[in-house]
Chain A
Amino acid sequence: MSKAAELAALIGSQSAPSNKNLIINGGMQVAQRGTSQTADDNTIYPLDRFVLFTQVNAGVFTVSQSTDVPSGQGFANSLKFDCTTASGSLNSGDYLELQSRLEGQDLQRLAYGSSGAKSLTLSFWVKSNKTGTYQVNAQMQGSAKINSFAYTIDSANTWEKKTHVFEGNQSNALTNDNSRQLELDFWFAAGSNFTGGTTHTDWATRADADFANSLNVNLADTIGNNLYLTGVQLEMGEQATAFEHRSFSDELARCQRYYYRINEGSTYQRFLVGSCQGSGYANGTVPFPVEMRGSPTLETTGTASQYAVYAGDSVRTSGSVPAISSTGTNKNVANVSFAASVTNGQAAELLANNNASVYLAFAAEL
């Protein structure tokens, strides 16, 4: 090992500088949408800041927050895939891909598109009963470039740490704004459309056949297949340093820039306070705990009768699902409309209608 590498390793073993990990929720702590979901020909966010795209023929997974973690590393949680319905054969366009997406304005330290472009080091812990070769890609959105890492899970049911250095991209810049500019893509199953290309180990123009070129595992091929992932860290430099353990509140606040869910679990939980405007509807505002990435999408259960309006000393079943009600671009607060038979000028609360599973959520995902 060179003196420079020794020094870097020594630095990495000491107290780490803050904000070195570009990945949010890499320790898999935050689960605003719940701790277990079903991946079945759909798109879900199994844990905050991780989006999973699933189409594996008939294959189905339960994807959950687990407490199975590598020993002695300080992690409390991991993301677990558990195959509940198998699909031994895949169609050509099938995929099981987990992404973490990053904003361009958080990546400017990398100086991409210049001669000073910095390397990125990826590290993560993984465990599976399925040994074999897997693939993770770094992808740049604007320039459609890909840089890949093929890694092997050597021992079944054993936590293994993987590290890889992505060289800096001197040719293509990352736009300095709040859009998606870089992403990590973990592939766990893929049809033939996504193999047969090239596993690029330097930045290259992507093609579909490159995405999972080195993947020789189908995580969906047998019921009971499982895979655990945690400690995902992407940092500037050429050394994998110790994982940056952030406080839960810090991690939650970072996640809430992209998703904020109100769901305290009580049967008549209050979501917001507003006022009745006319005889058939009301408006109110929801302030966000942190400024969101952009004007968010409002997410509801989709069933109007699960919401209610409290006005004039009575609870009235909502006549419509809550909706965004202003044309502004505010990232700190959302204006929400809701409907019921009310009296103009009264104060009004939007609340759950005797249903503890009802929620309001705001999404500004990348």
Chain B
Amino acid sequence: MMYSATITNAKYSLDTISGENTCINCVFNGRHVSVPLNAENTEYIEIMRQVAAGDLTIADAD
């Protein structure tokens, strides 16, 4: 079965050198994680799926 992850507090983080977004920090199924912006990453795929479905919003980096 395909399970929908519980994701909260999603927020982009910046590379302090380049100023680009480097990851999404969030709580993913109860785990505190920093997720790279990479389409091979399972957590990133799920985050983007929920964003596309309108179920999740990612806050901008500070």
Contact = CB atoms under 8 A, between A and B. Distances in A.
A301 B35 contact: no
Interface stretch (A56-64, A232-240, A320-328, A347-355): A320-328
Given A95-B1, A294-B41, A364-B41, A327 B15 contact: yes
Contact of B41 (A295, A323, A337): A295
A260 interface: no
Given A324-B34, A325-B15, A325-B16, A178 B40 contact: yes
Given A329-B38, A365-B42, A299 B16 contact: no
A141 B37 CA distance: 23
Nearest to B40: A294
Contacts of B10: none
**Which of A95, A211, A324 has most chain B Cβ within 10 Å?**
A324
Interface residues on A, range: 35 or more
Given A293-B40, A329-B38, A364-B41, A323 B25 contact: yes
Given A277-B16, A281-B16, A295-B40, A300 B34 contact: yes
B16 A298 contact: no
Contacts of B23: 298, 323-325
A208 B23 CA distance: 34
B5 A324 contact: no
Nearest to A278: B16
A317 to B, nearest CB: 17
A2 B25 CA distance: 59
Given A211-B1, A325-B22, A326-B22, A42 B30 contact: yes
B23 to A, nearest CB: 4
Contacts of B16: 277-278, 281, 283, 325, 337
Given A325-B22, A327-B15, A327-B22, A42 B29 contact: yes
Contacts of A300: 32-34
Contacts of B33: 297-300, 363
Given A299-B31, A327-B22, A97 B15 contact: no
Interface in B41-59: 41-44
A48 interface: no
A360 to B, nearest CB: 10
Contacts of A95: 1
Interface string A62-96: 00000000000000000000000000000000010
Interface string A161-198: 00000000000000000111000010000000010000
Contacts of A278: 16
A116 interface: no
A91 to B, nearest CB: 15
Contacts of B20: 327
Contacts of A231: none
Contact of B34 (A42, A43, A277, A298): A298
* Nearest 9 Cβ contacts at the A-B interface: A302-B32, A294-B40, A324-B23, A298-B34, A323-B34, A295-B38, A295-B36, A324-B34, A43-B29
